[in-house]
Amino acid sequence: MDNLIQISFINDFQFCPVSIYFHNLLDDSDRILFQSVYQINGTHVHKSIDEHQYSSKTEILQGISIYCEKYGIIGKIDIFDVKKGILTERKKKVSQLYIGQIFQVYAQCFSLEEMGYEVKKIRVHSIDDNKTFDVEHPKNSQVLFERFEKTIESMHDFDPSFFVQNNPKKCERCIYEPMCGSSCLEGENAF
């Protein structure tokens, strides 16, 4: 696998694969020009992790870079308690878990395990309401494990020239929709 996949893009890919293109295209731009309030708030949530200020305990890994050769994925984790084996992904607000969020923590889990750590528990934490959602370990769910592998394979093989979005609700919620040639909303797009 020549191209590495950013773990943070797995959730984006599930929402709309083309959004990753626009995310990369606008990455150096001033985020206030194109990010939604939710995305800006989400960035602030990770500040304590990125600056390694979440915990001073040595058994708490925070914001470390991870890599998984098997799947060709790279990224960072939020929090991993080495002693307890608990992997935690923090999000600003989670009302329900989506498959992209689950696959994002699966990618983190596989990376940590390939690096020699033992992941016993996986969870997603919603900061706004202090709720924690437990995620079944991929070794305990053959269906989700196979779907994860298929998603990663699809990401490696993705060709945007053949993609057409067919879910108008996704286009309506997408900050990149006005620029997107794959939008299924009526009207003219920038491309």
* Distance between CA atoms of residues 88 and 134, nearest Å: 9
- Which stretch of 5-19, 60-74, 134-148 has the lowest confidence by average pLDDT? 5-19
Q: What are 93-131's pLDDT values in tens digits?
A: 999 999 999 999 999 999 999 999 999 999 999 999 999
Has residue 186 got a pLDDT over 80?
A: no
Average pLDDT in the 57-65 region? 88
Query: Is the model's pLDDT at 67 over the cut of 70?
Result: yes
Whether pTM > 0.85 for this model: the answer is no
Helices (H) and strands (E) in the chain, counts: 7, 8
pLDDT band at 51; cut points 50, 70, 90: low
State the Cα–Cα distance between residues 98 and 102, nearest whole angstrom.
7
Residue 27's nearest CA partner among 14, 12, 47, 49 is 12
| Percent of the chain with pLDDT strictly greater than 90 | 54
Range 172-176 contact pairs with CB under 8 angstroms and sequence separation of 24 or more: 174/15, 174/16, 174/19, 175/34, 175/35, 175/36, 175/39, 176/18, 176/19, 176/22, 176/23, 176/34
Per-residue pLDDT at 191 exceeds 70: no
Domains in the chain: boundaries? 5-179
| Residues found in the chain | 191
Whole-number mean pLDDT of the chain? 83
**Of 57, 60, 62, 93, residue with least CA distance to 77:** 62
Average pLDDT of the segment spanning 157-163: 85
Mean pLDDT for 65-87 is 96
| The CATH number of the domain covering residues in 5-179 | 3.90.320.10
Mean pLDDT of 78-86: 97
pLDDT of residue 81: 97
pLDDT of amino acid 26: 65
pLDDT band at 172 (very low <50, low <70, confident <90, very high): confident
The answer to whether 100 touches 15, Cβ cutoff 8 Å, is yes
- Residue pair 28/34 in contact by the 8 Å Cβ criterion: no
pLDDT for residue 52 is more than 80: no
pLDDT of 68 higher than 80:
yes
- Residue 144's DSSP bridge partners are none
Whose tokens are 């009526």? That residue is 186
